[in-house]
Every structure is written in structure tokens, then in C-alpha cells.
Structure 1
Amino acid sequence: MNHFIGTYECKADSKGRFMMPASIKKQLLPMLEEGFVIRRSVFQPCLELYPMKEWNIVMEKMGKLNRFKKKHNDFIRMFTAGAKTVEVDTNGRLLIPRDLINVAGISKEITVASAINIIEIWDKDKYEEVIDASSVDFADLAQEVMGNDTADLLS
């Protein structure tokens, strides 16, 4: 599993292409040949860029869901809605499909942010709003998610 690092600001052209930041591109080098999948995020107004290997891991898990259960079928459909394969071109640019630009409300200014094993692609202003809004609650969130409980210590 890859663990990406960094948050970068970029500019998208009128076609939705942006130059992949050099540091991220360097981290993605081993994955460039396999390509990527880009999709809308479940929880935020952004896009998620999965290296093909990571996408296949997610699809393996989803493939185990029972498609004869309506909730499973609905989840699969919603999770994969709008997902597309993309590649970084020889100039180091990534083309964001037009429909996904609209879904995420991406304008000319974008933020590319690492999220452990995937890359998030945000409209710059929306990214700043989410970071600013959550900064007040981050200490509580960190304690809740990462803090050790007594029960955890006994396991």
C-alpha cells in the first residue's frame, strides 16, 4: 500500500487538465503505467484519485457484496457512479472528466491533497472551507478516532 504525502495548489486549464505537482508525480511514478480511477467522494465535495492497484483492492471487497440485497446493490451503484479511468499524460498532466468537474464544483484553482493511499482533488476554496470548519473540532476528533481507550490497552 502506498502512503502519499503532501497538499499542493494547482491551476486547471479550460479543458480540466492540471499539471500534477512534481512531488506527487514522483510518488506516483511506480503507478503511472497502470493508470488511475477517478471518482466522486462519498463524504466531501471533492474527487478521489485511486491508483489502479488501490481501486482493485476496493473492487475486490465490493465484489464480495451480495447483489441480491438492495442496499448492497444501491451502494455499489452509487459508489461507482461517474468513476472513470484516467492517465497522467507524458507532460505530467491529468485530465479531469467534465462531468466530475461539475460534480465537485472544481474551478480553475484546485488543491491536490494526499489521503493515505489515494489523492483528493478539490476546488481550492471548498478545500479551505472544509479545513477551516473542521480545525476547531480537530482536537476532539483526533482524540475520538486515534486516542487510546482503556479497553484498547487491555486487548
Structure 2
Amino acid sequence: MFQGETAITVDDKGRLAVPTAYRELVARECANRLVIAYNPFELGCLYLYPEKEWQRVRDSVNALPSTQRAHRNLQLKLVGAATPVELDGNGRISIPASHRSAVGIEKKAVLLGMGDKFELWSEQAHHAQIRQTLSDDDLSEHMLDLKL
């Protein structure tokens, strides 16, 4: 559904414009509603889920037994801090200050379309991630058969 990388500017009020290439898709598929959550696996990144996809993720995460620390941590970062947002008339969304601060998003960010969701990266974290390369030790069994 979503694919591509876009440099984004965040204004002084914490708003960012969803790229015009995605606006119609977000309006049609998501009724202009997204849900922001922390990325529990990477520093410097937020997830932006379409509302329907978010409901599926939320329900599966909440179904995990909260007696395990890793489950509680996942529930805290994904469900506990989730914030619904809606595109305004100018195609912008407001990213809460607490979320921006926690992941280091200031004026510049990078929005990645990752299929079923967006990832919103601080510019610094995105550059650091892109500069990393995979070594043979990083390859999983599933990756070995990929034809890239």
C-alpha cells in the first residue's frame, strides 16, 4: 500500500504534511485517520498505522500475556502510547511533542512507506540506519533465498 522515502519538514507546531502522493490513498483507505505509536525495535522512529491496520496490531499485541516483561514493554510502546491523528484540510498531521521528543524528531524527518504502515524517522536516526550494512552474520535463513 505505502512505498517510498520522503524527506519531511516538521513545523513549529509539530505538524507535517503527508506527501501528496499518499493523501488520496490515506483518504480512501484510512478515512484520513492514522495512529502513531513508538517503534519498539528501532530508536529514532515512530510507526504511523492506518486505523484498520492499527486495530489488528493493537488486538494482537493486547492478546499477549502481560505477565512477561517483553510483552508489557511491547504493549507500553505500541498500545499505551498510541495516539490517533487525522489529516487536516491541508493534508497535515500533528505529531505529539512527547513522541517527537522521545525519538529525536525536530525540524527534519524522513517518512518511509513500508507497505502496511509508515515509519517516521528522525533525520539523524534514518541516516545512521541507512549507513549500516548487513554482514553474512546478519542474514537469517529466510533471507538466503531472496533474489535481490
1:146 corresponds in structure 2 to 143
Unaligned runs of 5+ in 1: 150-155
Unaligned runs of 5+ in 2: none
Relative to the length of structure 1, the TM-score reads: 0.80
**Larger Rg computed on CA atoms:** 1
Of 30, 34, 37, 1:36 maps to 34
Distance apart, 1:11 and its partner CA: 0.8
| Aligned mates of 1:84, 1:138 — CA distance in 2 | 36
2:51 corresponds in structure 1 to 52
Distance apart, 1:10 and its partner CA: 1.5
CA RMSD between the two structures:
2.4
Distance apart, 1:61 and its partner CA: 1.4
1:11 corresponds in structure 2 to 9
How high is the sequence identity, in percent, across the aligned residues? 27
The SS at the match of 1:146 is coil
1:26 corresponds in structure 2 to 24
Greater percentage in helix: 1
Distance apart, 1:43 and its partner CA: 1.4
Relative to the length of structure 2, the TM-score reads: 0.83
Mapped contact 2:30–2:51 kept (Cα < 8 A): no
Greater percentage in strand: 2
Q: Size of the alignment, in residue pairs?
A: 144
Q: How does 1:80-99 map to 2 (within 5 A)?
A: 80-99=79-98
